[in-house]
Amino acid sequence: SFHEKSIAWYYGEKLRDRRKELKITQQELAEKVGTARSYIARVEKGETDIQISSFFRIARALGIEFTPTFL
């Protein structure tokens, strides 16, 4: 449980840092993603179990792209 919470917190911090770097508000990000501002706030605080699809939608809205790598 602690490990899962710390991972959620870490990724929330990364998303928040990128949002602030782009100088957009939680509300603006929520509108881009099609979700509520309160959800973005909970994600950034690591207070919610974010689904991978939601994570990728938020990341894409922030200009973060991932290349899947399978070992």
pLDDT at 70: 78
The answer to whether position 14 is within a domain reads yes
Q: Which domain holds residue 33?
A: 2-61
pLDDT per residue over 2-46, tens digit each? Answer: 888 899 999 999 999 999 999 999 999 999 999 999 999 999 999
Q: Is residue 24 part of a domain?
A: yes
CATH of the domain at 54: 1.10.260.40
Q: Is residue 68 part of a domain?
A: no
Exposure string for 20-58, b = 16+ CB within 10 A, e = fewer: eeeebebeebbeebebeeebbbbbbebeeebeeeebebb
69 in a structural domain: no
**pLDDT, position 68:** 75
Flag whether 37 is in a domain.
yes
Model pTM?
0.88
In tens, the pLDDT along 41-66 reads 999 999 998 898 999 999 999 999 88
